[in-house]
Every structure is written in structure tokens, then in C-alpha cells.
Amino acid sequence: MRESKAKKVERAKSIYELLLAEYPNAKCSLHYNSPHELLVATILSAQSTDHRVNQVTPGLFEKYTSPKDFAYCDVSDLSKDVHSCGYHNQKAKSIQGASLKIVEDYGGEVPNNMDELVELPGVGRKTANCVLGEIYNVPSMVIDTHMVRIMNLLKFVNTKDAKKIEFELMALFEDKNWVKLTHLIIDHGRAVCIARRPQCGACVINEFCPSAVI
């Protein structure tokens, strides 16, 4: 039987509360000291891990100390500097292009709205939502690989399309919880609901999960 919207909202609330109790300290695991550093770290994190990015960024931010340093750098040097994050040529181009626009169009300040953020080279909704939520406290959800997998397992969505998932989840979870929800799901995906080997028996939300195998 198809679950009603009201039932889904109720289930979403229970799941959120249980995960919050389980991972009270869930937060963004990328290291940064400014909005622009978070933007750079987020671009680097695509198809990589936050751990890998955190190994690269201390040296990177020591060498490039401002949006201007990234904007007017030699992109082939930058590419070498971010090599270990993967897709280094593309990421270097994105970081340089985004930094240039930030410096020349926005006076060096990272924009605080979706429309302007997604106009920056290499910045999609995922990166934009990360910046909006972490820096500007705008209710936003980052739909990463854990969110896609777990929200499908929970049968809150039935699609891999990140934008569709984002909008469907917005209708189920309270906006004040969106930023935290992403971090809770990422922690849960790393610790328990692991890709291809979910630990359903040890999962605190198993009674609310239609995919639980116990």
C-alpha cells in the first residue's frame, strides 16, 4: 500500500530525532577558515573523500591565501597542487574560474544565494547548498552519495536525480533541520548504513526503514 504523505512526514520526524540522538555532533567534516576556503574544499571533494581533501587543503591554503591568489594563479600549477583529489585539471579550472568571478564580480565575497552561486564555474546545487547551509545559515540540503542511497532505502524517494531528491525531501523534513539532516545521514552512511553492507541489526532507525534486513 502506498504510504500517505502524512505518514511519511511522521516517519521522517522519528528518523530525524533518532539520528540526532545517535550522532549529536554530526557536522561538516571539511576543514576551512573562510567562505571561500569552504567553496574550494567542496569543489575538491567531488568524487573524492573529505579525509583526502583535508590532507590537501592545509598546504593549499598556505600557498593560496585569498580568492585573488586562486583567481590569478597559473592553473597548471594549481592542478598539480590538487592532483591527489582526482579530476585535478577540471577541479583546478573550476576553482580558478569561480575565484576569478568572485573577485571581479563580487568584490571577493562568496555570493549568499543559489542563483549567483550556481553561475560560478564548476559550482552546482550540491556545492551551493553546502556553502549556503554552512556559511549563511540558509536552510539547505546537500544531496551526496549517502543521501541518495539512504533516502532511497528509506523509500522517501525513488530516484537517483539529486535535484528531485532535494525537493521531495524538502516536503518531508522541517526546514530548520535540513542542514543537520545531511550531516546525520552522512555519519549514518559511514558508520552503519554502509553501501552494499548495511548493518541493519545495529541500525537505530531500522523500525522505520522499509528496506531493513534483520
For cell 556553502, name the residue: 131
Shortest spacing between CB 202 and ligand SF4, in angstroms: 8
Identified catalytic residue from 81, 101, 144, 187: 144
> How far is Cα 175 from Cα 51, in angstroms, rounded to an integer?
28
Q: Is 14 among the residues that bind ligand SF4 (CB under 6 A)? A: no
The 10 Å CB-count burial string (b at 16+, else e) for 181-209 is bbbbbbbbbeebbeeeebebeebebbebb
Q: Which three cell numbers stand for residue 154?
A: 528509506
Look up 126 and say whether it is catalytic: yes
Shortest spacing between CB 16 and ligand SF4, in angstroms: 13
# residues near ligand SF4 by CB under 6 A:
13
What secondary structure does DSSP assign to 141-187, as a single string? ----HHHHHHHHHTTS-----HHHHHHHHHTTS-GGGHHHHHHHHHH
Look up 105 and say whether it is catalytic: no
Supply the Cα-derived Rg of the chain in whole angstroms.
18
Q: Which stretch binds ligand SF4 (CB under 6 A): 81-89, 119-127, 134-142, 203-211?
A: 203-211
Identified catalytic residue from 91, 101, 126, 180: 126
Shortest spacing between CB 23 and ligand SF4, in angstroms: 13
Q: Which of residues 120-159 bind ligand SF4 (CB under 6 A)?
A: 150, 153
CB 71 within 8 A of CB 96: yes
Q: Is 205 among the residues that bind ligand SF4 (CB under 6 A)? A: yes
The amino acid that residue 66 corresponds to is S
The amino acid that residue 35 corresponds to is P
The terminus-to-terminus CA distance of the chain in angstroms comes to 22
Q: Which stretch binds ligand SF4 (CB under 6 A): 32-40, 49-57, 130-138, 192-200?
A: 192-200
Closer to ligand SF4 by CB, 138 or 200: give it: 200
Q: Is 206 among the residues that bind ligand SF4 (CB under 6 A)? A: yes
Q: Which residues bind ligand SF4 (CB under 6 A)?
A: 150, 153, 192-193, 198-200, 203, 205-206, 209, 211-212
Give catalytic residues, as residue numbers. Answer: 126, 144
